[in-house]
Amino acid sequence: MPIATKIKNQIESSSWIRKMFEEGASLRQQFGEENVFDFTLGNPTMEPPAELHRELKKIADNPTPGMHRYMNNAGYEETRAAVAEVIAENCNQAVTAAHIVMTCGAGAALNVVLKTLLNPGDEVIILTPYFVEYKFYIDNQSGIAVEVVTKDDFQPDLEAIESAINSRTRAIIVNSPNNPTGVIYPESTLKALGALLRRKEDEYSTTILAISDEPYARISFGDAVPCIFSSIQNSIIVTSHSKDLALPGDRIGYLAANPAMNNVELFMQGTIFCNRVLGFVNAPALMQRLVTNLQRVSVDVEEYRRKRDLLYNKLTELGFEMVKPGGGFYLFPKSPIADEMEFIRIAQRYHILLVPGSGFGAPGFFRIAYCVEDAMIERSLPHWEKLALELGLAAN
Ligand SMILES: Cc1ncc(COP(=O)(O)O)c(C=O)c1O
């Protein structure tokens, strides 16, 4: 059966993901699970918080008629109100249930927002390095991704963003804490971006939406991640509980519009319609009920800090160079040799599995996902040492 040429090409262009899986599986088969150090997947091994099981049991023990039926495509009013309450508090804005649509994770929320927004050929700025799926999501919804490189510390380069904006620019996606770099954008940067977008909106008589993709927002090792609504009027949060409640397989997230956004009511009608016609229909009913009372609960961030410190301290001591992440659960070091694919192949000889920076639009780097067991990190350290030694790093 022939498939669409575009999909065939997209499968090809992301074939490195499949290859990594295959290589990991083959190494595990050859050397045993214990002897392979897989840092490729942002799939937390941490279990959800205990509160989640209590809520789940409460729901299971108290079934109510109609709890498995279709609902308003935006989701349950009660769930949306609970989500809105916490955002209103964090952002100090009048966010209500009317500004929330529950979605099948942040991935669905991004597709819903982009579909609501884009006319064919409209441009969406993404900052390099970026989450792998952005380009596919933008293409799904007839848009064109425009890549803008971040600064050496992976913070947004406002001058470069300014140069990339034109009359076709409809949105910019910002992701903080960032996948793959772990950096957090300070409020001053968001405010400067807000001022820039406003200036450009005036210049072109357009509206440019800042889409804040923030599934790692509650995984910050310092102050709370600043709320985008306080800095950018035309802004929307897309997020999920995949990371903060460790529920990636359960597909529950939401989008939250800034109440001050231009034409917010029409925009919300659009997102509710798109949630329906993209075939998501609504976010899973059980998951919505489950997270309603968990809006102030998160996984233990200290566990991620410990994992970050363990790896960051050891790898920098060995001579690897990287920006110290302020949140999330990724490190994005510089490849010690120019061709990071070659570096990744060498690392595999030490049974260390990593993701090439090229996959994130940033060749010359590699990503470590450290949302893994401490024991695996500990077991991997002597192998990192040998790797550094082979590359002549440890001597530095
Ligand atoms: C930056 C970023 N955005 C979005 C997503 C998608 O998350 P979800 O599982 O909620 O769809 C991920 C998942 O890893 C991510 O890292």
DSSP string across 197-253: HHHHHHHHT---EEEEE-TTTT-BSSSPPPPGGGT-SSEEEEEESTTTSS-GGG--E
Q: How far apart are CA 10 and CA 136, in angstroms?
A: 8
Q: How far apart are CA 75 and CA 218, in angstroms?
A: 23
CA 359, 361, 364, 366 torsion: positive or negative? negative
For residue 44, the model assigns a pLDDT of 87
Is the minimum distance from the CB of 215 to ligand 1 under 6 angstroms?
A: yes
Q: How far apart are CA 43 and CA 248, in angstroms?
A: 7
Q: How far apart are CA 75 and CA 144, in angstroms?
A: 30
Is the minimum distance from the CB of 129 to ligand 1 under 6 angstroms?
A: no
Q: What's the 375 CA to ligand 1 centre distance in angstroms?
A: 25
Which of 56, 36, 44 shows the shortest CA–CA distance to 383? Answer: 36
Q: What is the mean pLDDT of each run of 10 residues along the chain (396 residues)?
A: 93 79 86 93 90 96 94 98 97 97 98 98 98 96 98 98 98 98 97 98 98 97 93 98 96 98 98 98 98 97 96 97 96 96 95 94 96 95 96 72
Q: How far apart are CA 28 and CA 16, in angstroms?
A: 18
For residue 24, the model assigns a pLDDT of 84
Q: How far apart are CA 52 and CA 294, in angstroms?
A: 7
At 211, the amino acid letter reads I
Strands (E), 167-241: 169-174, 209-213, 235-240
Question: Do 292 and 81 touch, CB atoms closer than 8 A?
Answer: no
107 contacts: CB under 8 Å, gap ≥ 6: 133, 137, 240, 253
Probe residue for ligand 1, chosen from 101, 110, 131 as the CB with the greatest number of ligand atoms within 8 Å: 131
Beta-bridge partner residues of 238: 213, 255
* Prediction pTM value: 0.96
Strand order in 253-257's β-sheet? 100-103, 253-257, 235-240, 209-213, 169-174, 123-128, 144-149
353 contacts: CB under 8 Å, gap ≥ 6: 20, 23, 24, 27, 36, 37, 38, 39, 40, 347
For residue 140, the model assigns a pLDDT of 97
Q: How far apart are CA 96 and CA 179, in angstroms?
A: 29
Which of 321, 369, 89, 352 shows the shortest CA–CA distance to 219? Answer: 369
Q: What's the 392 CA to ligand 1 centre distance in angstroms?
A: 36
Q: How far apart are CA 60 and CA 27, in angstroms?
A: 41
Q: How far apart are the first and last CA of the chain?
A: 56
Q: What's the 395 CA to ligand 1 centre distance in angstroms?
A: 38
- Fill in the DSSP letter of residue 385: H
Q: What's the 263 CA to ligand 1 centre distance in angstroms?
A: 27
For residue 394, the model assigns a pLDDT of 62
Residue 248 DSSP SS3: helix
